[in-house]
Amino acid sequence: MQARRAARELALILFSQIDTLQNQKKWDFQDIVIKSVRTLTNNSTDELKSVTNSLLEIKEYLSEYEANHPDNLERPIDAKDKPVPIPLTSDMQDKLDELLNTAEKIMLALEIAEMAALEENSDVKEYIIKITNAYKEHKDEIDAQIKKFALGWDINRLVKMDKDILRIAICELLYVNDAPLKVIIDEAVELAKKYSTDDSGAFVNGILGKVVIENNLK
């Protein structure tokens, strides 16, 4: 995982707690990351237990379905059942979707655990500090950009994740200037797709495109 990508994702964790951290002179990044990893892993573990039970039910259903299939009922008692086609019911599809969603959350927890290790990398930490300090210094201007281009949206009612992703990207575009514009925007869109709603990627891309044009960025 590249240092700046890790820094952006760690900054997103940090920004999720920005309101409670505003008055602190020094932020303990490692503590924030560790707490986030614990939250994610605990949630993933609970969901994994639930999904595992569903998988056991599916396995039992499949075993009974195979054994009672006409093709196997006609076979000798001591013969091994042969595989048979199964109907993929919506109920089974829902259970498989739950498993996939849980697997994604577990992978996310592992990725953040990796980022926790990368946080010790000085390049990662320095870039996080640049982003967060830029936001602390230019908060009003950054939020004004979001408000200006989020037509029809009250900034206080935007999806929190979308707002934080936009804040980080605008910090980079206007005040950090250490990465190409395309990289900043593309990675902001990927963060939105990864962590937020189905429509968030397009929303974030649209806002950042307007920020680039408004500020004549190249």
Q: Between 207 and 84, whose confidence is greater?
A: 207
Tens-place pLDDT, residues 163-208 = 999 999 999 999 998 889 999 999 999 989 888 888 889 999 999 9
Residue in 133, 118, 144 with CA at minimum distance from that of residue 171: 133
Residue 180 DSSP one-character state = -
CA angle 50, 54, 56 (to 5 degrees): 115
Are 127 and 172 in contact by the 8 Å Cβ rule? The answer is no
Amino acid in position 117: A
CA distance 66 to 84: 6
Q: How many CA atoms lie within 13 A of 83 on its CB side?
A: 1
CA distance 47 to 103: 9
Which residue has 């830029």 as its token pair? 134
Tens-place pLDDT, residues 96-155 = 777 777 676 666 666 666 655 555 557 777 888 888 889 889 999 999 999 899 877 666
Q: How many CA atoms lie within 13 A of 49 on its CB side?
A: 5
Tens-place pLDDT, residues 25-38 = 566 666 666 666 66
Are 81 and 67 in contact by the 8 Å Cβ rule? The answer is yes
Confidence of residue 1 (pLDDT cuts 50, 70, 90): very low
Per-residue confidence (pLDDT) for residue 63, from 0 to 100: 82
State the architecture of 3-214 in CATH terms. Orthogonal Bundle (1.10)
Lowest mean pLDDT among 18-22, 78-82, 130-134: 18-22
Are 135 and 12 in contact by the 8 Å Cβ rule? The answer is no
Q: What is the pTM of this model?
A: 0.64
| Domain extents in the chain | 3-214
Per-residue confidence (pLDDT) for residue 119, from 0 to 100: 54
Are 39 and 54 in contact by the 8 Å Cβ rule? The answer is no
Q: Between 146 and 15, whose confidence is greater?
A: 146
